[in-house]
């Protein structure tokens, strides 16, 4: 599937119940050849409204995290989510919803072919590594997703609620930058 076919398939997807309450599916944004790929959990209310990932409060923090790496949305970066449709009430997507959406994210990753993947939060970490443990214990290691190096850090929405952990996220970003440079 090329980008156009993939975008249409996601737009019209009815593979899980999340399609029932969405305003629109939120595909992903950024350079189609980005060396950095950030993966979040799923759209919230703002994203459901605007059709772009990470445009609400968490998105502002993500943009700040990107700026700290001297990266910017749309340049060298692609941003996608595990699920493309907003879970009602912003609940965590169910495993079967993440599984129903897996082919779409997998194809995005195949097409972008990033040099490094950064999983933002537990949902993305579990989906892309299969590792089931606390986020704190998953940080600081390099994983591989289909041969692509992958690192894990806190989700920006979590950081907004737990400001002291921002320092740890900063450590993770430095680790990501080193991993990227070595990849």
- Residues of this chain that interact with ligand URA (CB under 6 A) are 40-44, 47, 53-54, 58-59, 81, 157
Residue whose CB is less far from ligand URA, 21 or 178: 21
Residue whose CB is less far from ligand URA, 95 or 178: 95
Nearest to 100 by CA among 2, 1, 7, 9: 9
Using DSSP, state whether 148 is helix, strand or coil.
Answer: strand
CB 104 within 8 A of CB 9: yes
For the CB of residue 138, give the shortest distance to ligand URA in the complex, in Å. Answer: 16
Residue with the shortest CB distance to ligand URA: 40
For the CB of residue 120, give the shortest distance to ligand URA in the complex, in Å. Answer: 6
Q: How far apart are CA 170 and CA 177, in angstroms?
A: 11
Q: How far apart are CA 138 and CA 150, in angstroms?
A: 11
Show the tokens assigned to 15. Answer: 């593979």
Q: How far apart are CA 183 and CA 177, in angstroms?
A: 10
Residue whose CB is less far from ligand URA, 2 or 26: 26
Residue whose CB is less far from ligand URA, 47 or 172: 47
User: Token match 């690192």: residue?
Assistant: 151
For the CB of residue 47, give the shortest distance to ligand URA in the complex, in Å. Answer: 4
For the CB of residue 94, give the shortest distance to ligand URA in the complex, in Å. Answer: 15
């Amino acid at each position: 599937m090329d980008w156009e076919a993939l975008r249409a398939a996601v737009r019209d997807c009815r593979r899980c119940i999340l399609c029932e309450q969405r305003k629109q599916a939120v595909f992903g944004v950024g350079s189609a050849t980005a060396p950095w790929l950030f993966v979040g959990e799923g759209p919230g209310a703002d994203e459901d409204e605007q059709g772009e990932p990470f445009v609400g409060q968490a998105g502002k923090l993500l943009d700040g995290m990107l700026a700290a790496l001297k990266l910017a949305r749309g340049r060298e970066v692609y941003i996608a989510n595990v699920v493309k449709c907003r879970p009602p009430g912003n609940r965590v997507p169910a495993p079967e919803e993440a599984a129903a959406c897996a082919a779409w994210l997998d194809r995005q990753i195949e097409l972008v072919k990033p040099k490094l993947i950064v999983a933002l939060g537990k949902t993305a970490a579990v989906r892309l590594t299969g590792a089931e443990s606390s986020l704190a214990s998953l940080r600081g290691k390099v994983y591989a997703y289909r041969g692509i190096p992958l690192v894990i850090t806190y989700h920006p929405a979590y950081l907004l609620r737990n400001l002291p952990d921002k320092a740890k996220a900063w450590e993770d970003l430095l680790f990501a930058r080193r991993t990227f440079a070595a990849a």
